[in-house]
Structure 1
Amino acid sequence: MNNLDLRQLRYFVAVAEEGHVTRAAERLGMQQPPLSQQIQAIEAAIGVRLFERLPRGMRLTESGRSLLGDARAILGAVEQAVETCRRIARGESGRLAVGFTGSAAFHPFVLAAIRSFGEAVPAVSLALEEGGSLELTDALAAGRLDAAFVRAAAGRRPGLAIEALMEEPMLAAVPVQHRLAAAGGAIRLIDLSEETFVLYRRPSGPGLYDAIIAACSAAGFSPRIGQEAARLPSVLSLVAAGLGVSIIPASMRRLETEGIVYLALADTPLLVAPLQLVWRRDGGSAALGHFVAAVRRLQASRRGGGTPI
């Protein structure tokens, strides 16, 4: 038995639905004799009669009625598959993997960007992954992620684009019972020179780690590091437990961790936490292009005096 192709299935469905070869030929934009020949070829290929020939038309046999249901399902599935491919090519469907560092996850800009993209193209499935800046950059380079919000990309990588979004101030985080907690307001970095520090591990976030060490050095002391944690929320938990103080991006105070007081740093204007978007240049994904565009629109709105973020 020969296989039927999609063209033949369309011919068969048209004749079955019209119940007349001439009307089906008009619907298909072809001549009646070639269509009649195609129906005969289909029956010969299957080895059964699909139609009863009547004086004024065609009527399906029981076998023909069975084939009609399957043929419609097959043609519908093919049309759906084609449309899905087109939607993916337009960036209206598919999957996008986006990463973010532990501190970036709490920045309102990141949350707004993800929400804005989700509202614009709801059919795109967003897979979100948290990690350190180095981990996320490696995942981008390996193709496991499409884009990531990081504090500082771990060096330039071939095939990756980096765009600076903004900088935010850093705050001191001290236990609620700390001697400086009651003072409120701003403190100087040198006021922490005798403290034990809890920091984010350098391999996970070398940018923030190095910036803090450099700022302390500029203030005239080398910080005594007592604990390191793989994630910034863990850093705050250790501070709340009274194991030391830390320096964190201002947006991290949104965690509202109990047992911590956040203090502004008065003498460190250059101690800031950058926020960057890194993405794959060669991702070949229209959805990725839409995501980058959504981030840029949000950034333009922020810079243009729109709703503060």
Structure 2
Amino acid sequence: MELRHLRYFVAVAEEGHITRAAERLGIQQPPLSHQIRALERELGAALFRRLPRGVELTEAGRAFLGHARACLARAAEGVEAAKRAARGEQGHLRLSVPPTAPFHPFVPTVIRAFRDAYPLVSLAMEESLRTETLERLRGGQVDVAFLRASIAAPEGLAVHPLREEPMVAALPSGHALARDDGRAVPVRALAEETFIAYARDTGPALYEAMVAACLRAGFVPRLGQEAPRITTALSLVATGFGVTLVPASMQRMALEGVTYRELEGADGPRAFLGIMARRDDPSAAVRHFVALVRRAARGRRRAARGCPGLRRGPPADAPCSDGRAVGFRDRVATDAGRARAVSTPSRSWRTRCCAGTHLVFRWRRCSPYWAEARRPSRRVGRSRRVSSAPGCSSRSSARRTTARGASRSGPARRG
């Protein structure tokens, strides 16, 4: 028995006529009758009672019809599930994060965005440090991992840098440097302090950044008690065992007894944030997640530079120079903080950010009221030039102005 036999049976049962069922299935009537008889022989029971005009279900046929429909429905669901999994819209994704990554707002934001974009992909998260993360990625227990170490890509793995953030000093609340509200602390001022190291063996990236900052400041840090996790290190700071340097995003962890202070200097220590996955991973869900995270990181970098990049059009309620709201018939070019409306019925346009100024590039001239922000002037006729103004810069606008002035003055009198 094959799925096509079930489809043939359901079609004949619903049509009540073999010829009409054959037309519905797109086959000839004799092969359909032959397949129905073969199905009845396999089941050992008559499924249809032949009538002068059509057929009707027997008791065995009525009992078999519900199961045949359910089987076809389950098969269709399986086909759709396989297609969704091939497109990366369904499946499983195992994600590893270091202990400090969830405190960075970028990480929960992109995870939430992925869950919204691919709700049928089940996401499992676990916490691990660099050494364990590399082993689990190579062994296939983890699909994607965030990491805090700027390392060369190991064999078979791909590392994509995302962001960097400054590190801050975590001080006991009773410390003298903690009492100076809002004042940045020079690293040199911590030369006499005892530093608490964390994850020195299993995830040494932040420990190495802390030691390198001290060495650049001209002293070797005096190490005290070590902690396996950064949360444990902060607890030791709160109890007065020493100080430590942590990523700035850890300030979101408000711990009683700990005060955070920024570090002086633009060349202070910085914490790396990246993402790592297996090269050429066959999972489409993994590829979608990595692509989404990298797009989000590029978007934030452009926003930080004040350049939103290529976007499709102004906001729906962007104001013009005359106070009107801009609809789809208006195109806005921002020049020195002023918005200029260019009326056109065409949607063929794009807005590109160039040195902080949005210029409108029109790809075809399709309206008498058109303008190009790139050109400072347009030639009208053969002898006159009209300079671009914030109000309008088109040749046709100049003609309309001339024609309007002529109509107001009336016909010229003959001398």
Question: What TM-score does the superposition give when structure 1 sets the normalisation length?
Answer: 0.93
Code of the residue aligned with 2:300 in structure 1: it is R
More helix as a share of residues:
1
Paired residue for 2:108?
Answer: 111
CA contact (8 A) 2:167 2:268 kept: no
SS at match of 1:265: coil
How far the C-alpha of 1:306 sits from its partner, in A, is 6.7
Partner of 2:10: 13
Name which of 269, 272, 284 aligns with 2:282.
Answer: 284
| Matched residue, 1:188 | 186
Question: Do structure 1's residue 63 and structure 2's residue 57 form an aligned pair?
Answer: no
Residues 1:255 and 2:260 are matched in the alignment: no
SS in 2 for 1:187: coil
Distance 1:292 1:58, change over 3 A: same
User: Residue in 1 aligned with 2:386?
Assistant: none
Deviations 1:193-214 (A, max 9, x none): 2222222122221211112122
Say if 1:34 and 1:154 are closer, same or farther in 2 by CA, change over 3 A: same
Higher mean alpha-carbon deviation, 169-178 vs 210-219, is at 210-219
Structure 1 unaligned segments of length 5 or more: list them: none
Q: Deviations over 1:31-67 (max 9, x none)?
A: 1111001111001011111111111111111111111
Q: CA deviation at 1:111?
A: 1.5
Is residue 98 of structure 1 aligned with residue 88 of structure 2?
no
Match of 1:218 among 210, 216, 219: 216
How far, CA to CA, are the matches of 1:153 and 1:82 in structure 2? 42
For residues 37-76 of structure 1, the aligned pairs below 5 Å read 37-76=34-73
State whether residues 141 and 157 of structure 1, in contact with CA within 8 Å, keep that contact through their aligned partners in structure 2.
no
Letter in 1 for 2:301: R
Higher relative contact order (CA 8 A, sep 6+): 1
Residue pairs, 1:135-154, within 5 angstroms: 135-152=132-149
Q: Find the aligned partners of 1:241 and 1:63 in 2 and give their Cα distance.
A: 79
Match of 2:231 in 1: 233
Q: Does 1:208 align with 2:206?
A: yes
Paired residues of 2:170 and 2:246 also in contact (CA < 8 A): yes
Partner of 2:389: none
Shift of 1:229: 2.0
Matched-pair contact (CA < 8 Å) for 1:133–1:153? no
Q: Which residue of 2 aligns with 1:120?
A: 117
Aligned equivalents of 2:98, 2:87: Cα separation in 1: 29
* Matched letter for residue 302 of structure 1: R
**Amino acid corresponding to residue 211 of structure 1 in structure 2:** A
Secondary structure (helix, strand or coil) at the match of 2:303 reads coil
Q: Which moved more, 1:64-73 or 1:296-305?
A: 296-305
Residues in 2 aligned to 1:187 and 1:270: alpha-carbon distance in whole angstroms: 11
Contact 2:150 2:272 in 1 (8 A): no
Judge conservation of contact 1:12–1:39 (CA < 8 Å) in 2. Answer: yes
Instruction: Provide the rounded CA distance (Å) in 1 between the counterparts of 2:171 and 2:151.
Output: 29
Residue type at the aligned position of 1:45: E
Within the alignment, does 1:131 sit opposite 2:128 as a pair?
yes
Partner Cα distance (1:61, 1:239) in 2: 82
Amino acid paired to 2:206: L
Q: Which has the larger radius of gyration?
A: 2
Name the SS for the 1:26 alignment partner: helix
Task: Give 2:295's aligned amino acid.
Answer: R
Q: Indicate yes or no: 2:89 matched with 1:87.
A: no
Alignment-mate amino acid for residue 221 of structure 1: F
Q: What displacement does 1:268 show?
A: 6.8
Selected match of 1:304 from 299, 302, 305: 302
SS of the aligned residue for 1:34 comes to helix
Question: 2: distance between equivalents of 1:268 and 1:183?
Answer: 20
Partner of 2:394: none
**8 A contact 1:175–1:241 mirrored in 2:** yes
TM-score with structure 2 length normalisation?
Answer: 0.70
Change (3 A) 1:160 1:19: same
Letter in 2 for 1:282: D
Q: Answer yes or no: is the 8 Å Cα contact 2:247–2:271 preserved in 1.
A: yes
Higher mean C-alpha deviation, range 153-162 or range 9-18: 153-162
Q: Distance between the aligned counterparts of 1:306 and 1:64, measured in 2?
A: 69
Within 2, Cα distance between the matches of 1:240 and 1:270? Answer: 24
Computed over aligned residues only, the root mean square deviation of the Cα atoms, in angstroms, reads: 1.8
